[in-house]
Each structure stands twice: as C-alpha cells, then as structure tokens.
Amino acid sequence: MRTIGHFIDGNRVAGTSGRTKDIFNPNTGEVQAKVTMATPTELDSAVASAAKAQLLWAQENPQRRSRIMFAYKQLVEANMDDLAEMLSSEHGKILADSRGDVMRGIDVIEFACGVPHGQKGEHTYGAGPEIDVYSLRKPLGVVAGITPFNFPAMIPMWMFGMAISTGNACILKPSEKDPSVPMRLAELFVEAGGPVGLLQCINGDKEIVDAICDHPTIKAVSFVGSSDIAQYVYARATANGKRAQCMGGAKNHGIIMPDANMEQAAKDILGAAYGSAGERCMALPVVIPVGEGTAERFLEALLPKIEAMTVGTSTDPDADYGPVVTEAHKKSIEADIDKAVAEGATLIKDGRGYILQGYEGGFFVGPTLLDHVTPDMETYHEEIFGPVLQIVRAKNFEEALRLPSEHQYGNGVAIFTQNGRAAREFADRVEVGMVGINVPIPVPVAYHSFGGWKRSAFGDANQYGMEGLRFYTKVKTVTQRWPEGETDDSAFIIPRF
C-alpha cells in the first residue's frame, strides 16, 4: 500500500516515526494509502533547510521572486486536472468543486505575483533639516502554515503564496486526511524554479503542531481549522512570541427578506448549503426567513430543488455533491441530525442512512433540511459541517439582524433583498466579518482579504491580500542624514544651487 511521507529539502522522504494514519477513499470507504506522522527531529531538519534557503531568497530582488511565482502559477494551472483528481480521490468533493478549490488558490498566487508593488514601503523627503525617512517591509524568516482537510489546495496556497512572495520560507503542515495535493504543490514549486528548501511539507498530528508552535526559528503561524484548535494554536504560538492568525469555525446565516427574489435565493442557498457536502467554513447552513409568509414561499421554492439533487461519487459529472471525508465525520453529522430532532426541530428532509448503490461503503450523507430550529438549540450554536440546512424563522428585520450578530461565530453572513436601504443597514450593523448582499458565499477576491470575527478568528490579521502581506512582513524604518564633510575628492563635492 502506498505510504506518504514528507517533502523536505526538495525531496520526498519516507519518515522515521513508524506512526501512520489511514487515508480513505470516501467513495468506497476503503483505505487507499497511509501517511506517516513526522517527529520533532524531522521538523528540525525541515526548518534548518528552510532557514538556509530563506537567507538567500530574501536577498533576491522582488522582480525575480515575482517571476518565480508567476512560473509557479502557470505550472499549477497546467496540472489543474491531475490536482483535481487527486484532491477528489482523498477528500470526496466532486471534480468541479476540486477544480474550484485549486483555482481559488491560484487566484492568491496571481495576487502574490504583484508583491513588488505591495512591498515598496513609504518615504518622506525632508522630514527634518536634510533628513529623509523611509520604511522597508522585511520578511520574518521561516513561517508555518497548518491547513484543514476541506480545502487542501486553496488554503495552503493562501498561506505559502503570500509568505514566500514576501521573502519568507514556509513549513506547511496539511491535514493528514488528504495530504497528497499539498505534497504535490510543494513539488511543483521546485519544478517552477523555486529554491530547494524554501517550501517544506511536513505531515503530522498534534505532536507536530505543538512542535511548530514551540520551535524558536519559526516566527509566525497561520492556521485554519476548528475554533477550539484555532484558539489553542493561537494561545500556544503567541505564548512563544510568534505572530499568529488562526481561523476557526463558522455558522453562517442567510437572511431572506420578504422582497427577495425567492427563486434566485433558493437556488443560491441550495448550492451554498449543500455544495461540497457542506464541508466549507463559508457554507450557509442557517436560513432566516423574515416573516411566516416569507418562510413558506422560500420552502415552496427550495423543496423541489432539494428533491432534484443528485448525490454521487466524486467522479460523477451529474452529481451535485459527493461523500464526506471520513466515516467518523459521517457519523458525527448524523448524530447532530439526531440531536436536532430530539431538540424539537421539524425534520423535512432526512439524509441519514444514505446508501449509494454500488458504493455501499462510501461516506455519503443525503441532503437534510430542518425547520423550526430555535436559537436555544445546541445544534443551532454548533457547526455541523455537513449537508444540513437549518431554518430559523424570524418575525422581523431586527430579530434577523440580531441572530448572526449574537452567535458565537462571526465568519460570514448573507442577506437576500431588493431593498438597497435594508441591505446597507444590515451590512453596516451586523457583527460578522464577511457580508454578502444577494451573494450566498461572500468569500473575498484575492486582492481583498479573508477573515471572520468572534470565535471564527483569533488574531488581528486576515488571510491573503494586503492583510496577508502585512502579516508576513515586519516594518523597518530608517531615518538618515548625510552631513557635508571634508574631502579632497572633488567627485564627491555636491554643488549647491
């Protein structure tokens, strides 16, 4: 059986720990490979190699770094289909979603190609008598990225794209559930002309996460995952003097105003709630219709669309979504559905026990719809992370605004309306980091930045965009004066006009 090790100093290495975890094929439920857990000693080796490569990389002019990033962008694009197939085979998302995963990562790499502009700094001529002041944005050194299973292409590129383009080296620790794509992305960077050792890929579990947070050479940690782990990583990394940006979970809400285009809203929410089997931190698992009439009209538009959905394998071109990532996660989702029903929610569409003929061992969960969910239910407060949509009915605009604002998570929210005044007021007042207006998944484009509020994010810096550039650099300010001195060399005499 195939075993995946690590990518250290430009080569794939087997790993020495002897500890492995299974990588499943979510379509069949079978173990298709094993991944080796790294040791702190192997991390030390990777960090030493990265630090050596970073010293030379930081001295390269920004144009050359940009050219290598552009070559890398082209190479990832050329390998799009292979990467998507690899991603789907381990994650389970359909190929169209896997291509989108890769493409959104490429968007950030493309933005990173323009880093010469972003790293220019500031300059003041004549800040005092013959005194000039200028600032530089310098790389931190060696940084680390710890990424989740649900976007094994996009989120690594969010992190190492900005880190490397600004002159750093990066240690990437991907999810052990689907590590093949991050490993291949690291290889492609070397193939694109990137310096050997600048991008390392270490597979591991909590032991290696702790080692990253504690390592004295690693200057910053970027993390995406559950909120509890995000808070833990943030606390441990910052306690060791590191910068940290740690993105956590979400429970994104979609507000349906009475004047919304109901057919369009139902179509948008269908994809946002069930796409990629709901395994997205920017999924939309809660809908809040404003008014009983709005709720009934929304259900009338949504239910036929749910009934028409196709759950299939990740390679089925007709499937709307595929299996979830592991059997354990499938059981967790179904347990949450059990709990919601026990709490009093109305089960309109039940996805438990879903069996796909010919793939009886696969980790499939059918589309689930729960109505009359209330804010006091535990399943409303917690992230289910599966193809489950909950409907919470609100009496008016103020109640609909209050629900996402008071929720423990504050990642994303959307409002569906044709009233510009209502949309503007909602966007201004809602206590959530990313807002969509008639946009169900408001993930910002690569030249803005991604980040939530409350328990959805720990730290002050967002991912990618100019926020990412600032996170991976530190400011050095120079104040200079060149007083006139005595010299016999006329070539250095500056004439006064």
Residues designated as active site = 281
For 76, other C-beta atoms within 10 Å of its C-beta total 22
Q: Is 40 exposed, middle or buried (0-12, 13-18, 19+ CB in 10 A)?
A: middle
Is the dihedral angle over the CA atoms 429, 432, 244, 61 positive or is it negative? negative
| Amino acid occupying residue 386 | G
Is the dihedral angle over the CA atoms 133, 137, 142, 147 positive or is it negative? positive
Which long-range contacts link 261-265 to residues 24+ away (Cβ below 8 Å)? 261/416, 261/418, 261/438, 262/297, 262/298, 262/300, 262/301, 263/301, 264/416, 264/438, 265/298, 265/301, 265/416, 265/438
Matching residue, tokens 């552009």? 70
Distance in Å from the first CA to the final CA of the chain = 79
Distance in angstroms (rounded) separating the CA atoms of residues 403 and 391: 12
- φ, ψ of residue 140 to 5 degrees: the values are -80, -35
Distance in angstroms (rounded) separating the CA atoms of residues 227 and 454: 10
353 CB-side CA count, 13 A: 3
Region of residue 93 (phi > 0: left; psi between -120 and 50: alpha; otherwise: beta) = beta
